[in-house]
């Protein structure tokens, strides 16, 4: 081993110890190369896997001719280190940057890759870069655009921390900027102007009256939400404003497409639009259907136990859904601890996640 290079991973150790090994190789977003190198090295040493590399994303596959293929995915990167590397074991908890989000999940993937030489389904293991930063840099998104065949499968599990509970699919999200125009004037002579802030009243009234839908999909409840998240307007304390803009975020159930979601938002604010407001779509990301009606998904839920719940947020499972692959979130670790200085994962949770995944795939 070259001096200064990270040590090779020892996958003969248990999943919690492998988590510690991964944490001890810093991999802040954009600087995953060292970790991707050791992951690639250990996977290429396994003769039952075919390994590919794209930038700092590593993909390994079995090709056993099984009737189904599942994809297990996890990101290698972490948020910036906060004096919490190297890892530290304190009783039942392993502390360190990325322990929960999501090097514990990656450790489970690596253990399965090493020890499941003849799984009951073909498996694709995906380790990718730049999840914790802007979507344009996301390694899974890059693979979806340039190497979609590497992500093909019948079912996918994104091993994000979920507290060991299956979280099906994810919500979609979009933002719109609704703008009203007016005419500036001195506030002492307000009749000479046209107050753009006042003209935002129909927008706020529509939000106040809005009743969000609850969608039941594969037995999971997705609660939608339409909310103002920002408002801009005003020039000075003695000026009638000539412009006002309300930013609205719509979190929508995955049975709506992005186009359907935007059309719904336009319908909600039709009265404001009829009075001259403009509605501009500024950001959008699709949701992901859970696919719990699939046999693979049902068997997965039975193997890992617990009662599935909806993912009431957006995650990278949406990228699989866009490729036609139903996906769920499942992994050890508490998502509430992600990105915190005191981030940790329960050792027992990591071992349990591996045992349950192994029971499903062996």
Encode the chain (362 residues) as per-residue pLDDT tens digits.
Answer: 334 456 789 999 999 999 999 999 999 999 999 999 999 999 999 999 999 999 999 999 999 999 999 999 999 999 999 999 999 999 999 999 999 999 999 999 999 999 999 999 999 999 999 999 988 899 999 999 999 999 999 999 999 999 999 999 999 999 999 999 999 999 999 999 999 999 999 999 999 999 999 999 988 999 999 999 999 999 999 999 999 999 999 999 999 999 999 999 999 999 999 999 999 999 999 999 888 888 888 889 988 888 999 998 889 999 998 999 988 999 999 988 999 999 999 999 999 999 999 999 99
Q: Which domain holds residue 270?
A: 172-285
The CATH number that applies at residue 193 is 3.30.70.360
φ, ψ of residue 16 to 5 degrees: the values are -65, -40
Residue 60 lies in a domain: yes
Which one of 285, 304, 330 terminates a domain?
A: 285
In a domain? residue 295: yes
End of a domain among 285, 319, 350? 285
Number of domains the chain is built from = 2
In a domain, 26, yes or no: yes
Residues 269 and 328 in one domain: no
Both 205 and 236 in one domain: the answer is yes
**Helix, strand or coil, per DSSP, at residue 243:** strand
Six-digit token pair at 162? 């979920």
Has residue 2 been placed in a domain?
Answer: no
CB 161 within 8 A of CB 332: yes
Could you list the active site residues? Answer: 77, 131
φ/ψ of 361, rounded to 5, equals -100, -15
Q: Are residues 104 and 209 in the same domain?
A: no
- Does residue 74 lie within any of the structural domains? yes
Alpha carbon separation from 67 to 49, 64, 70, 71 (Å, rounded)? 17, 9, 10, 14
Using only C-alpha atoms, the chain has a radius of gyration, in whole angstroms, of: 24
Specify if 191 maps to a domain: yes
- Evaluate whether residue 143 is within a structural domain: yes
Other beta carbons within 10 Å of 268: 20
Give domain status of residue 10, yes or no: no
């Amino acid at each position: 081993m070259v001096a200064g290079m990270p040590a090779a991973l020892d996958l003969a150790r248990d999943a919690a110890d492998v988590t510690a090994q991964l944490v001890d190789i810093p991999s802040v977003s954009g600087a995953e190369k060292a970790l991707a190198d050791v992951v690639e090295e250990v996977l290429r040493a396994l003769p039952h896997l075919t390994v590919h590399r794209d930038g700092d994303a590593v993909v390994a596959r079995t090709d056993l001719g099984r009737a189904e293929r599942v994809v297990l995915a996890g990101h290698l990167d972490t948020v910036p280190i906060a004096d919490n590397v190297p890892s530290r074991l304190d009783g039942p908890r392993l502390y360190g940057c990325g322990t929960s989000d999501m090097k514990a999940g990656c450790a489970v993937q690596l253990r399965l890759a090493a020890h499941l030489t003849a799984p009951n389904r073909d498996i694709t293991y995906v380790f990718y870069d730049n999840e914790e930063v802007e979507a344009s840099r996301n390694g899974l998104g890059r693979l979806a655009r340039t190497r979609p065949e590497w992500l093909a499968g019948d079912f996918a599990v994104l091993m994000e921390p979920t507290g060991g509970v299956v979280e099906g699919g994810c919500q979609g999200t979009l933002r719109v900027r609704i703008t009203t125009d007016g005419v500036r004037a001195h506030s002492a002579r307000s009749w000479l102007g046209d107050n753009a802030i006042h003209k935002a009243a129909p927008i706020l009234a529509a939000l106040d009256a809005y009743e969000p839908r609850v969608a039941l999909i594969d037995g999971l409840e997705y609660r939608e939400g339409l909310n103002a998240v920002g408002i801009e307007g005003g020039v000075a304390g003695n000026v009638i404003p000539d412009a006002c803009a309300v930013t609205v975020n719509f979190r929508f159930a995955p049975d709506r497409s992005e186009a359907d979601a935007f059309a719904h938002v336009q319908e909600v604010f039709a009265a404001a639009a009829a009075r001259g407001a403009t509605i501009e779509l500024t950001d959008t990301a699709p949701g992901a259907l859970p696919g719990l009606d699939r046999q693979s998904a049902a068997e997965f839920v039975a193997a890992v136990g617990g009662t599935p719940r909806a993912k009431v947020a957006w995650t990278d499972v949406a990228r699989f859904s866009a490729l036609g692959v139903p996906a769920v979130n499942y992994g050890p670790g508490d998502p509430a601890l992600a990105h915190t200085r005191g981030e940790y994962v329960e050792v027992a949770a990591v071992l349990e996640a591996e045992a349950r995944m192994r029971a499903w795939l062996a």
